[in-house]
């Protein structure tokens, strides 16, 4: 199990409404992810919604790509990351 940051580009801007329909999309994405042991943690989105930085937990980069394809989400780049925050060194 590792944590990955997945960068995605949406030239038309990502359209994910913060309503019931949007929630259905999220539910569908989560269900597909579960089949491969992938968990979507959260994402960072640019204001114009053209680029996202998504944090995922998953077994391998191939699993990330597999569920991305099924969910019809593009991938620019996958990087393995660890969490580091200001409280780490206390």
| Other beta carbons within 10 Å of 41 | 11
**Number of alpha carbons in the 13 Å side-chain half-sphere of residue 59:** 9
Report the residue number, 55 or 71, with the smaller CB distance to other proteins.
Answer: 71
Shortest separation between residue 86's beta carbon and other proteins, angstroms? 25
For other proteins, give the closer residue by CB, 39 or 62: 62
Q: How far is the CB of 68 from other proteins (least distance, A)?
A: 9
Give residues in contact with other proteins (CB under 8 A). 2, 4, 8-17, 21, 24-25, 28-29, 32, 60-62, 65-66, 69-74, 76-80
Asked whether 26 and 14 are in contact (CB, 8 A), the reply is no
Cβ at position 90, least distance to other proteins in Å: 29
CA–CA dist 12, 9 (Å, integer): 9
């Amino acid at each position: 199990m590792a944590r990955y940051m997945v960068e995605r580009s949406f030239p038309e801007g990502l359209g994910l409404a913060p309503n019931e329909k949007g929630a259905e999309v999220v539910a569908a994405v989560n269900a597909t992810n579960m089949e491969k042991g992938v968990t979507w943690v959260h994402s960072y989105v640019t204001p114009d919604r053209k680029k996202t930085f998504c944090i995922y937990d998953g077994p391998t980069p191939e699993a990330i790509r597999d569920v991305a394809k099924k969910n019809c989400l593009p991938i620019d780049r996958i990087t393995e990351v660890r969490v580091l925050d200001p409280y780490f060194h206390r």
